């Protein structure tokens, strides 16, 4: 027994622990195969962002419940068109991601429409204010808060708080301060599903009955009320601006255990993501706001890895879909070459 052990030990020592050449070649080949399969998987399922192609034409879902509306003649009275197209993109992370790159959503919209596009985006924000007494500084930059600042032409509060919130906030406030709103033709609004994820109350029943009531004050601590209040504030100051809402897309949200669940299934008590979609459609129609549907028929649970960087943020492919969809419906001449 000892003799066999010595022989095994002497053989190891004689080979110096070296691996034979065929084994090395096999390991290298397997390594390349694994790397190749990994790259293919990432491209197929969204792990690698596809490079932006301005000439790519996404196929818009036939299930999209788009509702294209135009400013009323009375809203355009007294306004002189300067002959150029200017779009203000207002929202949260959907516009702040890659804001200085060609892959940023606002820059894609500029490419698609040929318009001058201003990017005013505040990452992490929502449409509505946080519940009464639970708000923080970020609430100042919610849609309803920014809309009021635009109506009043007073950005002092936003400016005073922006530096503490980050570079994106500073850039966006500076952009707001530079805009002549009389030259803006279209307001392109888009917020992701953060109101749903942050458990903002969906709506106040009283608001539903007063969507078209002049002078009515909406519940700004609800998603539907915050949207309606913000739209009315901007329309009050600049009735000529065509307002367009791009819906949020599908997203996932954490349940009580922290496990991500489909937004169209998980209900925090205010409704599912689909319920938020329904109230947004209702409010937009009543307020004469064009409704660009990026929810129905687009991202689903089955292909969310292909379009989302995480549970909620859009990757390049998803942004390209949104940009093209917006241009196709609101600036069709730029897409069709008319």
The model's pTM: 0.85
Count, residues in the chain: 338
How many Cβ atoms from other residues are within 10 Å of residue 310's Cβ?
Answer: 10
Residues 31 and 110 in one domain: no
Residues 60 and 89 in one domain: yes
Rg (CA), the chain: 26
Calpha distance 255→214 (Å, rounded): 40
- Widest CA span in the chain: 106
pLDDT, tens digit, 9 for 90 and up, residues 218-250: 999 999 999 999 999 999 999 999 999 999 999
Nearest CA to 97 out of 115, 114, 119 is that of 119
- In three-state secondary structure terms, 256 is coil
pLDDT, tens digit, 9 for 90 and up, residues 39-89: 333 333 333 335 678 788 899 999 999 999 999 999 999 999 999 999 999
Structure tokens at 199: 């458990």
The residue ranges of DSSP E strands in 5-53, in sequence order, are: none
Query: Chain-centre distance of CA 90, in angstroms?
Result: 10
- CATH code of the domain covering residue 219: 3.40.50.1110
Residues 129 and 11 in one domain: no
Contact 196, 252 (CB under 8 A): no
Contact 157, 130 (CB under 8 A): no
According to the model, what pLDDT value does residue 46 have? 38
Residue range of the domain that includes 168: 46-336
Give 251 or 3, the one with higher predicted confidence: 251
Residues 56 and 176 in one domain: yes
How many Cβ atoms from other residues are within 10 Å of residue 195's Cβ?
Answer: 28
Residues 188 and 66 in one domain: yes
Residues 190 and 218 in one domain: yes
What DSSP line would sit under 15-78, residue for residue?
Answer: HTTPPPHHHHHHHHHHHHHHHHHHHHHHHHHTSSPPPP-TT------TT---B-----HHHHTT
Residues 9 and 105 in one domain: no
Residues 26 and 171 in one domain: no
Residues 202 and 324 in one domain: yes
pLDDT, tens digit, 9 for 90 and up, residues 139-194: 999 999 999 999 999 999 999 999 999 999 999 999 999 999 999 999 999 999 99
Cβ-Cβ contacts under 8 Å for 177 (sequence gap 6 or more): 155, 159
Structure tokens at 255: 């349940």
Structurally, the chain folds into a number of domains equal to 2
DSSP state of 181: G
């Amino acid at each position: 027994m000892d003799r066999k052990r010595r022989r095994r030990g002497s053989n190891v020592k004689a080979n110096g622990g070296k691996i034979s050449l065929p084994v090395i070649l096999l390991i290298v080949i397997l390594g390349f195969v694994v790397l190749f399969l990994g790259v293919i998987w990432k491209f197929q399922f969204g792990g690698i962002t596809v490079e932006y192609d301005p000439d790519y034409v996404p196929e818009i879902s036939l299930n999209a419940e788009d509702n294209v509306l135009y400013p009323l003649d009375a809203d355009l009275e007294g306004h002189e068109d300067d002959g150029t197209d200017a779009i203000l993109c207002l929202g949260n992370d959907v516009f702040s991601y890659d804001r200085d790159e060609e892959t940023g959503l606002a820059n894609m919209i500029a490419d698609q429409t040929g318009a001058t596009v201003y990017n005013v985006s505040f990452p992490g924000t929502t449409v509505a204010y946080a519940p009464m007494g639970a708000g923080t500084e970020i609430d100042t930059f919610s849609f309803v808060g920014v809309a009021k600042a635009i109506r009043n032409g007073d950005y002092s509060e936003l400016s005073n708080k922006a530096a503490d919130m980050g570079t994106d906030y500073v850039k966006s406030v500076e952009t707001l301060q530079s805009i002549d709103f009389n030259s803006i033709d279209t307001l392109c609004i888009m917020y992701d599903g953060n109101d749903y994820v942050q458990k903002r109350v969906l709506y106040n029943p009283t608001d539903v009955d007063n969507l078209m009531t002049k002078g009515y004050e909406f519940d700004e601590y609800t998603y539907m009320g915050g949207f309606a209040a913000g739209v009315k504030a901007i329309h009050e100051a600049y009735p000529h601006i065509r307002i367009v809402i791009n819906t949020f897309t599908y997203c996932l949200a954490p349940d009580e255990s922290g496990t991500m669940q489909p937004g169209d299934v998980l209900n925090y008590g205010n409704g599912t993501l689909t319920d938020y979609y329904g109230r947004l459609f209702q409010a937009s129609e009543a307020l004469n706001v064009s409704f660009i549907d990026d929810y129905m028929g687009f991202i689903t649970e089955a292909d969310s890895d292909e379009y989302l960087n995480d549970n909620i943020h859009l990757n390049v492919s998803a942004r390209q879909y949104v940009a093209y969809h917006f241009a196709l419906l609101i600036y069709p001449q730029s897409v069709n070459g008319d």
